[in-house]
Structure 1
Amino acid sequence: MSQASNTSMISIQGISKQYGDFHALQHVNLEIAKGEFVVLLGASGCGKSTLLNLVTGFDRSTAGRIVVNDREVTKVDPHCGMVFQQYALFPWLTVLDNVAFGLKMKGVSRAERHNVAQRFIEMVGLKGFEHKYPNTLSGGMRQRVSIARVLANDPDVILLDEPFAALDAMTRQVLQDELLQIYEKSKKTIIFITHSIDEALLLSTRMIIMSARPGRVVTDIRNDLPMPRNADVQLSPRYNELKSQIWGTVQSEVMRSLQATSH
């Protein structure tokens, strides 16, 4: 696993977010070092996606500030690349042109952007599919295109909002392995949202558990499981110890969330 440097890539300082009387986030403080793979866990509605939207600049906080690579986020930040659960691809463009789209918007020449796109298409295992259209691809392949497009734009930070949730278990496992390999090659700083404790343990260098609404950081766990994280790791005592610790915290927050909505 790549070792993160001590340089802070993302600084989340006293962030709160309200929508009218609805409190989504409350005084969230989080420092994420360059090269970390941070997974956000928590009950539905705890503000995980809201926090990612604030980091990218899709939304503005009610209080606090966010700094990405020494730049305060005040609008949509091109230095953050987002991969959504749904495949946000242009159906009229080929795989190659979808991956190259951001570079085209930056004015990169056709030859250069296609060279860059080709490199990342191969990195996500889609060589030979460059001239296919999204509607001819499986869900897992479309998500690989989405990841390749983000990588081609060379952002400082990659944000993934439950990117594998809609996939079958086998495809999900394959893409988890590929994402870890991409992380090793790219050395990018990653924030990844999931509801799966197993997915968090397999992917992360660090896990942040958020409280029931309004969302706050309740537990910050360093993932010290050895690599490679295969089936053997999942049978280890340390894996089960971490899983039990996380489940205990998440379960109590889910119960708090259910109790809050029932009143």
Structure 2
Amino acid sequence: MAEMKNPPKAGPMIEFRGTGKSFGDLKVLQQVDLQVAQGEFLVLLGASGCGKSTMLNLVSGFERASTGSVWVNGREVKDVDPACGMVFQQYALFPWKTVRENVEFGLKMRGVSRAERARVAQHYIEMVGLKGFEDSFPNKLSGGMKQRVSIARVLANDPDVMLFDEPFAALDAMTRQVLQEQLLQIYEKSGKTIIFITHSIDEALMLSTRMVVMGAKPGRVVQDIDNDLPHPRTADVQLSSRYIELKRSIWETVQVEVMKGLEGVK
């Protein structure tokens, strides 16, 4: 197997330092201590309500920590951070703008020249496999294509960190698998630091360099696993004994945490 083009580099890009988050009396996260290295592809797994999306919102600056702190690239997050780009489950595209115009949007807001916007947008449109659809509107695209436009738009802004909140959850199984493989190719080309949320153990194993399982009520880290499955990684890796071993280990932890939630055990 070939080596990954951009292996994780030393040094934390993201740090949770004793981080807690409450909404009124509801404690969502408690004492999270976690570091994410530059160039790492970290997947957060866990049952609904374990604080995964809250963690992304804290990194991006959409929310502020109630206790402790969150740091990105050596700076404490105190407001919405342009160093972070978010890809949501819903595509959040402007329906009146073409693919090219959607991808260029952030660059236009930053005052980038028209020629440079066009050059950068075209580069990332081609990277996500949408060459030929530059002038199409979102209502002419499939769900998978819309999500690729969302990814290209984030990449065009060149963030230090890319945050994915269950971006493939609404897609059919075949489209989801194709986009997983494409996202891996994009990750290997770009070397971005990524945090990706999913409920799917298979998706976590397919994409990540590292997986963190969150326990719920309140959210906390209960398992932290390096994913040593080889690169380049395709669906065939699911047939390997190491894949099955990792999946069994994660499932045992997730099952325990889900049962605790169902029983109301904190």
- On the 8 A contact 2:7/2:191 being kept in 1, the answer is no
Q: Give the % identical residues.
A: 71
Match of 2:17 in 1: 13
SS in 1 for 2:55: helix
Among 105, 109, 118, the residue aligned to 1:105: 109
SS in 2 for 1:17: strand
How much does 1:238 deviate? 0.8
Between 230-239 and 22-31, report the one with greater CA deviation: 230-239
Q: Distance in 1 between matches of 2:87 and 2:29?
A: 22
How many residue pairs match? The answer is 262
Match of 1:59 in 2: 63
Q: Distance in 1 between matches of 2:239 and 2:98?
A: 42
TM-score by length of 2: 0.97
| CA deviation string 1:130-170 (max 9, x = no partner) | 01111111100000000000000000000000000000011
How much does 1:184 deviate? 0.5
Match of 2:258 in 1: 254
Match of 2:159 in 1: 155
Aligned pairs for 1:103-252 (under 5 A) are 103-252=107-256
Among 9, 12, 33, the residue aligned to 1:29: 33
Q: Which amino acid aligns with 1:229?
A: R
| CA deviation string 1:31-61 (max 9, x = no partner) | 0000000000001110000110010000111
How much does 1:230 deviate? 2.6
Q: Which amino acid aligns with 1:206?
A: R
Q: Distance in 1 between matches of 2:254 and 2:27?
A: 20
Q: Distance in 2 between matches of 1:135 and 1:69?
A: 37
Structure 2's unaligned 5+ residue stretches are none
How much does 1:64 deviate? 0.8
Aligned pairs for 1:78-89 (under 5 A) are 78-89=82-93
The alignment's C-alpha RMSD in Å is 1.1
TM-score by length of 1: 0.98
Report whether the alignment pairs 1:44 with 2:48. Answer: yes
Structure 1's unaligned 5+ residue stretches are none
Match of 1:93 in 2: 97
SS in 2 for 1:128: coil
SS in 1 for 2:264: helix
